[in-house]
Amino acid sequence: MLKNIHQKMIKSALVLALMAVGTSSALPKATELVSEMGLGYNIGNTMEVPKDPTLWGNTIPTKVLIDSLKKAGFNTVRIPTAWYTHSDTSTNTIKTEWITEVKKLVDYCIANNMYVIVNSHWDNGWLEDEVFNGSHPDRNGTIVNTDASKIRARQEAYWTQIATAFKEYDQHLIFAGANEPGVNDHRGGTVENGYTDNGQYAFNQDRMKILKSYLQAFIDAVRSTGGNNATRTLIIQSPRTEIDKVDLLLNDMPTDPAGAGYLMGEVHFYPYQFSLMTEDADWGKCYYYWGNYLSSTDAVHNTPASGFASPSWVDETLSSVSTKFAAKQMPVVIGEFGAVKRLSLSGDNLKLHLQSRAAFYGAVAKNSKNHGMIPVLWDTGDEGEGNMTVIRRQKGTTGSIFDYEVLNSMLKAYGLDTLQGNSIDALVNLSTDTSNKSVLVETKASPDTSTTTIRITPSIKDWSNYTAVSFLGYVDGTTHEVDGDYGFASIDLAVMSGTDWAWDDVHSQELTMGQWAEFKYTLSKNINDTAQAAKNQQKLYIKNPTSINALVINLYSLGFEGEIRIDNVVLWKADGTKDTLETFNKKLPTTEGNVSNTELVATVISGPIKICASPIKTLSTKLRFTQNANQLNVYFEGERSSNGTLILMNSLGQVIAEKSISVEKGLNTVSLKTGFRGVAFVQVRQQSSFSTAKVIIK
């Protein structure tokens, strides 16, 4: 005991000594940085992607992108960053090569005299989902136990390493200790069980004390490394970064050894019905139109003149949060804000919606400038339905402007020169073009088994009265052998349903290249029909047919480079009539995985359409699992010796881990290290044969 006390005294003395060194040449205080930070941009869906920044469709950012952001008028770049899945979680040691990768991006920004915010993002929820101590429901409703002291220790370890790597950087580098702590809490239950925050588990003062301990660990770790970190500006988050929970933070603040003035507060700003809501609910409508751009033909989706999400509400809300933080000598970073594009709209209403979005972004920028806040827009990178992309990163010229109206609205609010360009008219013209189109997705050459995903949010959610689903598909390209295995390309259709996003899929045979085919799958109605039996009969068994969340078409391939085209996704009734789910005539779907380009093209069909109805061969036995620590063990029977792939997907069908494996005939055991927690799907592929099973990773 005496030895431990003595060690703590030495450590405390060392921290004070380092602080004393740092304060001799203190960096500017947070309030001094605001005017220079200006407009901010999030490199979203990239460096924060668990394990691999490219898994969600974006490439690793380059100097070209950062230079383009500077030219576009941004002077602050927020880099959402994963650390947990780039570390040895047994020792909490971040991989040196990952810190080097992040450093490279930071250096690109600072070379342009830009400010950089490096945070610790969701990253499988190691901190974000664990603002608890003891028993609690996880995001899926399963009762689990969290040891907050272990989370705090990991937070301290990570930030000590990060801060040490960057200790000599000047005030242009800013650290943010978390992202949206608590935002993924389980939804559901009763008030008696603690569900008081709009159906979400309550974030109360007890939980604020836990969050405070995580924020304190972040601050102490950074300050203890000395140098410029002794007075570097640090950002701390309100619970869930929600504005209406700011008081919880301000009434129970962590302390900063640097003294007053070196902290900023962070909130995020997504007025739900206008920014994120994708379909009407019994409690309210989506808001597509805002401010001076209201619709006369779709008035039910107009934002109200006053009240939630209205222009006056935006003004009052942002003014209020700024005032509250100012009382603590803390500027505010709006670390994320934005509104999704509803490209399902068409004609005049689509134009009004796009103009509304631009006006909203401009209002946030104007309020931020007037109240001494830093607005940092969220950019998704993709260009399909629901995107928030302003600067191109996936298609066209990297760094070119994708949304002139949103950008110019913000530049104007800051008194900066606007840029020549028009992004709205092309989308509106496309929305009124009724000619027959299909979605074209081009794939990159890949030496391993790869997945190209086309995801559709169906307009029809209840499939209980339908007997089949079909689509037209066309695949063309070249295949070649890879390590002695024949190249292949095959198509899989999957449906996600219910509150647990149950994954059910059905597979097709290998394709005839260069020929349009109709892929039609019977929907299983037999409750005694297992999912596997349905697949073997080329039937699609759906666990929750009355609640369809998404339809996914996957092109699985090995040694293949080429394209896939999809058109006319329809549902069939017993009498032969059909209802259309998607024609792709007016909007792009979401695409991810092995994708180099996505666009809408004219559908040209010459020659007969092949009917694809015979089943693909599946692996002979089901997958079985065991778990220990951060390792998932998968057991299965191989039909022959060859190379294969183990794929781990989340409940949205996104690939979160992928591993090349050697499959032997007979029983195989494959282990996969993963920090992921929750509902997942494991798929083992052996050339064109594969098997999929659901697993809950704890």
Q: What is the pLDDT of residue 19?
A: 42
502-538 pLDDT tens trace: 888 887 755 678 888 888 888 886 645 555 555 555 6
Q: Residue 82 pLDDT more than 70?
A: yes
Q: What is the pLDDT of residue 22?
A: 38
Find which of 45-59, 119-133, 456-470 is predicted with most confidence, using mean pLDDT. 119-133
Mean pLDDT, residues 82-101 taken together: 98
* Cβ partners under 8 Å of residue 96, min gap 6: none
- The token duo for 333 is 């970073």
CA distances from 223 to 57, 78, 274 (A): 36, 21, 40
Task: Pick the range with the lowest mean pLDDT from 80-89, 226-235, 561-570, 671-680.
Answer: 671-680
Q: Residue 21 pLDDT more than 50?
A: no
Mean pLDDT, residues 28-51 taken together: 97
Amino acid found at 104:
K
Q: What is the pLDDT of residue 147?
A: 98
Rounded to an integer, what distance in angstroms lies between the CA atom of residue 222 and that of residue 272? 34
Q: Long-range pairs for 426-431 at CB < 8 Å and ≥24 separation?
A: 427/343, 427/350, 427/354, 428/346, 428/347, 428/350, 428/351, 428/354, 430/586, 430/600, 431/343, 431/345, 431/346, 431/347, 431/350, 431/586, 431/587
Q: What class, spelled out in words, does domain 14-430 have in CATH?
A: alpha beta
Q: Max CA-CA distance within the chain?
A: 86
Rounded to an integer, what distance in angstroms lies between the CA atom of residue 195 and that of residue 334? 27
Rounded to an integer, what distance in angstroms lies between the CA atom of residue 393 and that of residue 53? 13
- The token duo for 40 is 């901010």
Q: For the chain, give the number of residues.
A: 698
Q: Residue 158 pLDDT more than 90?
A: yes
pLDDT classification of 385: cutoffs 50, 70, 90: confident
Surface-to-core class of residue 621, CB atoms within 10 Å of its CB (0-12 exposed, 13-18 middle, 19+ buried) = middle
pLDDT classification of 1: cutoffs 50, 70, 90: very low
Q: What is the pLDDT of residue 83?
A: 98
Q: Residue 690 pLDDT more than 90?
A: no
Mean pLDDT, residues 407-421 taken together: 97
Q: Are 116 and 172 in contact (CB under 8 A)?
A: yes
pTM: 0.74
Q: Residue 607 pLDDT more than 80?
A: no
Q: Are 386 and 339 in contact (CB under 8 A)?
A: no
Amino acid found at 452:
T
Mean pLDDT, residues 11-40 taken together: 71
Tell which residue, 255, 589, 235, 287, has the closest CA to residue 437. Answer: 589
CA distances from 628 to 141, 695, 697 (A): 21, 14, 10
Task: Pick the range with the lowest mean pLDDT from 83-87, 402-406, 645-649.
Answer: 645-649
Q: Are 89 and 675 in contact (CB under 8 A)?
A: yes
3-class SS letters over 42-101: EECCCCCCCCCCCCCCCCCCCHHHHHHHHHHCCCEEEECCCCHHHEECCCCEECHHHHHH
Q: What is the pLDDT of residue 254?
A: 98
Stretch(es) of the chain classified as CATH 3.20.20.80: 14-430
pLDDT classification of 616: cutoffs 50, 70, 90: very low
Higher-confidence residue: 119 or 692? Answer: 119
Stretch(es) of the chain classified as CATH 2.60.120: 434-616
Tell which residue, 547, 403, 341, 569, has the closest CA to residue 473. Answer: 569
**Tokens 């209403």 correspond to what residue?**
349
Q: Residue 666 pLDDT more than 90?
A: no
Higher-confidence residue: 574 or 41? Answer: 41
462-499 pLDDT tens trace: 999 999 898 988 998 888 777 766 677 888 889 999 88
Tell which residue, 336, 401, 327, 408, has the closest CA to residue 368. Answer: 336
Q: Are 431 and 586 in contact (CB under 8 A)?
A: yes
Tell which residue, 658, 616, 277, has the closest CA to residue 453. Answer: 658
326-337 pLDDT tens trace: 999 999 999 999
Stretch(es) of the chain classified as CATH 2.60.40.2360: 617-698
161-216 pLDDT tens trace: 999 999 999 999 999 999 999 999 998 888 888 999 988 999 999 999 999 999 99
Q: How many CB atoms lie within 10 A of CB 401?
A: 21
CATH classification for the domain delimited by 617-698, as one of 3.30.43.10, 2.40.10.480, 3.40.50.10490, 2.60.40.2360: 2.60.40.2360
pLDDT classification of 574: cutoffs 50, 70, 90: confident
Q: What class, spelled out in words, does domain 434-616 have in CATH?
A: mainly beta
